[in-house]
Amino acid sequence: MLTIDGEARPGASTYPVHNPARPAEIVGDAPAAGPEQLDAAVQAARRALTGWRALHVAERVAAVTAAATRAAEQLGARDGARLYTREHGKVLSEARFEIDTAPVLASLLGSMAEAALAPEHIDPQQAYPRLHREPYGVAALVLPFNWPLALAITKLSSALVAGNTAVVKVPPTCPLAALQLGEAFAAALPPGVVNVLAGPGSELAQALVTHPGVDVISLTGGVATGRAVMAAASSRLTPVLLELGGNDAAIIGPDLQITDELVERLVTATYTTGGQVCMAIKRLYAPAARVEELADAVLARCQREVVGDGLADETTLGPLHTAAGRDRVQALTTDARARGATVRAAGRIREADADSGGYFVLPTVVTGLAPDAALAAQEQFGPVLPIFGYQSIDDAVDAANATDFGLTASVWTGDDALADSVAARLVAGTVSVNCHGMAAQDPRLPFGGVGQSGLGRELGVDGIRAFTQPRAFVRQPAPR
């Protein structure tokens, strides 16, 4: 069911949601919102806005934290993680982790809200001039397929504590658990503060971001989608926050040995969620003489991976989420092989899933890849890691920065001076040392990219302020 104005409502129609581990299986039917439901959701958010923004920030924080806790508890009680795994494909432990972290994310963001939103006095001793940060109004929050539950909590927490109300659009291909999470979250708040919609295809998102009742848009998705949203929002000059793709580079310093610990961290940073993570390692640079040693070590570690149905205990990596995603990854590796690269896969597909038609791709390592190959220039969003050799660390930095993207980047070294030097030169929204991906994300810091990786920031104080607009107050003495 959709959630509109504090009530569960049917859509204008329904559509089937399939299991990517066995695409013939229908997990459930999702409600598809039409223009009437969209209008009702936006109007409900607008009616709720005055009362919600009038609350003190501490009251909003307490309400949002309680709502996130309730949502996680109710989804857990419904065994929502199993539903989520069936519609998404990710392994069950990851699905549970995503649900369990909801209250933690909301609490952490809430703890920064008062500092983020406090008035700023230019002269601390004077009431004027001063700066206030005020909510935009109704926020349209468009979720991606890869981590929609975590992103729902992140976006909702930041937008709501800032005083906005929200209309959430869940991903079309895995909407069911997100709808349940949103329903429980909204039920803990005044009616209309949070509304949750679903629909197949891109039509609903297009209608939402162009709706005249929407005041700010936050989207996490691909670059093409981000461009389309930005173009659609331009007609009304609606502000947009875009967290888009990445082509993240990681540089292994010449001082490091290829140890089990290093390889384990690299594998986790590359292949989590089957590589369907915007901040995963997409390109790995190592000293030229160590490339084969590193590739062999990564492949040896990946031999332990079992790709299959995410509900199975033995499965360590689920399928890719869509057939299109699988086909894209396969096309990139086919092109790499045709251009002379060495493409090697490791691990195995779970025997019980071998004939299911699932969108399975084994962890893959590519060496000898041309720097201008599609796999090097584009975001693969799958379990494929190209490893490049470098002659000097300066060459590695230049190669890492030779991209239109700039979401995250990392350097791995025990040399503090080298770490500082390389980190200062890497061009990305987040630069990390000896970590990457999920391990390098600190919710106390803003997250976002440069270039084609997007506009604006999520998380941290800046992520809350992104949902506000400044208002300046100035005063002069009264005329005599």
pLDDT tens readout for residues 421-438: 999 999 999 999 999 998
Tell me what the mean pLDDT of segment 235-260 comes to: 97
Separation in Å, CA 418 to CA 168, 267, 394, 413, 421 = 44, 23, 11, 7, 5
Quickly state the pLDDT bin for 350 (edges 50, 70, 90): very high
Question: Residue 224: what pLDDT?
Answer: 93
Specify the domain boundaries for CATH 3.40.309.10 within the chain.
249-442
Predicted confidence band of residue 367 (pLDDT cuts 50, 70, 90): very high
- Closest by CA position to 404, among listed 452, 454, 372, 370: 452
Could you report the per-residue pLDDT of 24-46, keeping only the tens digit for each? 999 999 999 999 999 999 999 99
Burial string for 137-174 (b: 16+ CB within 10 Å, else e) reads bbbbbbbbbbbbbbbbbbbbbbbbbbbbbbbbbbbbbb
Report the pLDDT averaged over residues 287-297.
98
- Span 310-338, average pLDDT: 98
Q: Which helix (H) or strand (E) holds 118?
A: none
Catalytic residues: 243
- Residue ranges, CATH 3.40.605.10, the chain: 2-245+455-472
CATH architecture of 2-245+455-472: 3-Layer(aba) Sandwich (3.40)
| Residue 297 phi, psi dihedral angles, 5° rounding | -70, -40
Work out the mean pLDDT of the chain and round it to a whole number.
97
The closest of 5, 11, 54, 51 to 29, measured between CA atoms, is 11
The reported pLDDT for the residue numbered 99 is 97
pLDDT score recorded for residue 221: 95
Judged on CB neighbours under 10 Å (0-12, 13-18, 19+), 303 is exposed
Residues 313, 475: Cα–Cα separation, whole Å: 66
For residue 296, the model assigns a pLDDT of 98
The answer regarding whether domain 249-442 maps to CATH 3.40.309.10 reads yes
Q: Which residues have CB under 8 Å from 293's CB, separation 6+? A: 258
Contact 393, 234 (CB under 8 A): no
What's the whole-model pTM score? 0.97
Q: What are 104-148's pLDDT values in tens digits?
A: 999 999 999 999 999 999 999 999 999 999 999 999 999 999 999
Output the pLDDT for position 69. 97
Which residue from 324, 148, 167 is spatially nearest to 243, judged by alpha carbons? 148
pLDDT value for 53: 98
Mean pLDDT score, 62-79: 97
Q: What are phi and psi of 138, to 5 degrees?
A: -95, 125
pLDDT of residue 102: 94
